[in-house]
Structure 1
Amino acid sequence: MNAPFQNTDARTAVAGAECAVRVLRSLAEVEAAETMWTALEDRAQGATLFQSFAWCRTAAEHMARRGTTALYIVCVTMRDEAVAILPLAIQRKGIRTILTGLSEPFQQYTDMLAAPGHSPASLFALMRDTIVKSGADYVHFGQVRADSALYQALGTAIPPCGEDDAAPCITLTDWPDYETYLKSIKSKTRKNMRNARNKLERTGAIEHQAGSDPDLLCGVISRTYEGRVDWLERMGLTSRAFRNAGFKAFVDRFKAPGSTGIETVAMSLTLDGKPIAEQWGFVHKGRYYAFISNWDDTYAESSPGRLHLGEVIRSCYESGVTSVDFIIPAAPYKLTWAPNTVPVQDHVWPLTVIGYIYYSIWLQRLRPFAKSCVESLPPALRQKVIGAVLSGGDEASVSKRTVDGQAKGHSVQDALS
């Protein structure tokens, strides 16, 4: 079970230098590593917001206050400089001990910060023994992007597990401005969007707000959270994030982004001053990450969520953002605007007999069948079934499903995790 990775060639492969591996286990150790961490973060490539120092410190502070999760951040250093950081944490669910992404279930991607010029596979091989010694039954790498350093590191040794998904994304620098980008959208789609907007404008004035004003942030964050809670209840869906008792307190931290060090942006599409579609997210190294969105179903015929994404993209152009990440899942309303998607999948590495049984019997065989059966149920019945499953679970029940309008997996899969 522990054979996929070997350390034999790793030390010579990492620039021919001797490396040290250590684990950060406390908030104090995280804060002490800030200079080393941010230096690597500046150099690392990819969609690494959820592995950034500011994000991980914010998550570590949240965990320290609640005392719910043990940090296990694996670092590889060379000549006192970090060349790889893999932010993980230990979680316990019943008899299972899981090593997973540091801020799960709140983060959207799991990745590894890796210094350019070093092989991610070799860096990960150096971490192997430290990961095995974590005491976990299995390692869960959730939402790994196919273009990430961690994906390269895992290779074929830890294959994907579970459903295929994808993150719709846009490289804004492929077009000089929003108007030019808009011309790349199918003419029929543009016409449909114009007609939908015109229909709304016949009933009132449409306005769009975007920025980091405290009042805007507080309003959008609160409304989107509550809107998602209501939507999940209606649809009979579930989310590990939303049913986690600490998620509300975690998202509330971003109402004052100065305290997190993360650029947080809120956007609101209004009709006569009433919000009909809203979204908020983060900007890190020029990339905008959508996090939570919501829309008013009263205006469903005009597709307010789809309309709003056009305004989100326009605002990103105006603010100098270079790329937009709409996060999983690859929902149709996102694909209207995003020309590209990046495959995203979970990877699971069993380390003990318990981990292997859970992986081979539950994850690989029983869970896909159970998920298919539950998803085929009508929303009302599905809600009852999921409620029964969660009532015996080990996470506090807050509500059900998802982060970015849908994100954090598909519907019932979290209830069956």
Structure 2
Amino acid sequence: MGGLRTEIIRDARAFMDLEPHWWQLWRQSISATPFQSPAWLIPWWQTFAPGDLAAIAVWNGDALAGLAPLYVERHDRGQRLLPIGISLSDYLDILCVPELEAKAGAAIADAVLSLKWSQWILPDLSADALSMCLELPNTEESRAMAHAACPVLLLDGDRTLARSVPARRRRQLRRAERAARRRGAVVVSRNESDPQMFLDRLVRLHGARWVGHGGGVLSDMAVEFHRRALPRLADSGLARCLTIQIGDAVVGAYYGFHHRNRAYAYLGGFDPAYADESPGAILIGHAIAGAANEGAREFDFLRGRESYKYGWGAKDRWTAQKVWTRSTPQ
């Protein structure tokens, strides 16, 4: 197909060997997020590997022109083709170089049809995801255009937050900062240089925040994944890791990402003993201001309609889900 060569990668070592080519492809992709980077998806596969690897690589000579990181999950009703990174990733998609987008996408579709599956499920697709344009003949396609809400705050070059964050939230933030200073000296620090120490703090604070309430997301396997992924993300300049110290105690942690003109708030935690000082809110305020100073035009709170996100002025942006079904695996 136009000089392109397609490879289906089933071996984990070969999948990891894609990394340098993958980075080049990811950097060229207009719609890519940190969740499609090798820093995120290679550790995901190393940690979970819940099925049979079936990653599709499209080559243009020695350069990677397209990539669909997929695996096959076997269950009682057949075989499902799923994206690597599912569940922990807020956005999922294929990658293609812009100048070969149509050809590489068609090559991925052809390769997908050569695999054995009864359903191919792609959840959490952004509005500009390349997968939205994929077509698979002789299959039944369904779409859910309001799959999950990701509240997004528009920054529009606002480095003071005066035009982007509602006045009420700014007043609350100032009160929280005054309350924190009454309890001790307040220091907000960047922690990307020591990712394992940051994760130790995040795990402790996230667990303290959710103990007895449910809703925490840091299972043992998830922690193992982040211990693999965060050093890669930090080395690539994608991670944003903040902690807040009040007096002698580290009482809050914020784990996010920054890529091009968008910041992403992924996970946080705080010590409930300091709830009156709102360390989580102080950290988010610093993260938003820092993102604006780095040129971000959007601050994405990612999946979930928690009320605090809307208090910052975020508006829902919905992801889509595409599902292809065929009666019998080919």
TM-score, length basis structure 1? 0.66
Q: How is 1:290-305 mapped onto 2 (pairs within 5 angstroms)?
A: 290-305=265-280
The percentage of counterpart residues that share the same residue type is 20
CA gap of 1:165–1:125, structure 2 versus 1, over 3 A, is same
CA gap of 1:331–1:160, structure 2 versus 1, over 3 A, is farther
**1:54 partnered with 2:39:** yes
Which of 123, 127, 133 is 1:146 aligned to? 127
Structure 2: runs of 5+ lacking an equivalent: none
Residue aligning to 1:193: 173
Alpha-carbon distance in structure 2 between the residues aligned to 1:340 and 1:108 = 16
Residue aligning to 2:227: 252
Q: Deviations over 1:182-215 (max 9, x none)?
A: 343222332232223323333333221113131x
Alpha-carbon distance in structure 1 between the residues aligned to 2:128 and 2:312 = 20
CA gap of 1:184–1:109, structure 2 versus 1, over 3 A, is closer
Residue aligning to 1:74: 56
Q: 1:328 aligns to what SS in structure 2?
A: coil
Residue aligning to 2:288: 313
Contact 1:220 1:279 in 2 (8 A): no
Contact 2:209 2:271 in 1 (8 A): no
Residue 325 of structure 1 and its aligned partner are, at CA, apart by 3.0
Q: How is 1:33-44 mapped onto 2 (pairs within 5 angstroms)?
A: 33-44=18-29
Aligned residues: 326
Residue 227 of structure 1 and its aligned partner are, at CA, apart by 4.2
CA gap of 1:21–1:227, structure 2 versus 1, over 3 A, is same
Alpha-carbon distance in structure 2 between the residues aligned to 1:142 and 1:83 = 23
Contact 1:132 1:351 in 2 (8 A): no
Structure 1: runs of 5+ lacking an equivalent: 1-10, 12-16, 355-417
Contact 1:205 1:272 in 2 (8 A): yes
Q: Whose helix proportion is higher, 1 or 2?
A: 1
CA gap of 1:103–1:76, structure 2 versus 1, over 3 A, is same
CA gap of 1:187–1:261, structure 2 versus 1, over 3 A, is closer
Q: Whose strand proportion is higher, 1 or 2?
A: 2
Contact 1:27 1:57 in 2 (8 A): no
The amino acid across from 2:201 in the alignment is: R
Which of 147, 151, 154 is 1:168 aligned to? 151
Alpha-carbon distance in structure 1 between the residues aligned to 2:67 and 2:129 = 13
The amino acid across from 2:22 in the alignment is: W
TM-score, length basis structure 2? 0.81
Residue aligning to 2:164: 184
CA gap of 1:259–1:278, structure 2 versus 1, over 3 A, is closer
The amino acid across from 2:323 in the alignment is: V
Q: Deviations over 1:154-197 (max 9, x none)?
A: 69x7443496422234565x31x622x33432223322322233
Contact 2:71 2:81 in 1 (8 A): yes
CA gap of 1:254–1:86, structure 2 versus 1, over 3 A, is closer
Residue 101 of structure 1 and its aligned partner are, at CA, apart by 1.6
Contact 2:122 2:323 in 1 (8 A): yes
Contact 1:254 1:264 in 2 (8 A): no
Alpha-carbon distance in structure 2 between the residues aligned to 1:178 and 1:193 = 16
**1:131 partnered with 2:109:** no
Q: 2:54 aligns to what SS in structure 1?
A: strand
More moved, 25-34 vs 318-327: 318-327
Q: How is 1:217-232 mapped onto 2 (pairs within 5 angstroms)?
A: 217-229=195-207
Alpha-carbon distance in structure 2 between the residues aligned to 1:201 and 1:154 = 57
Contact 1:224 1:279 in 2 (8 A): yes
Contact 1:305 1:333 in 2 (8 A): no
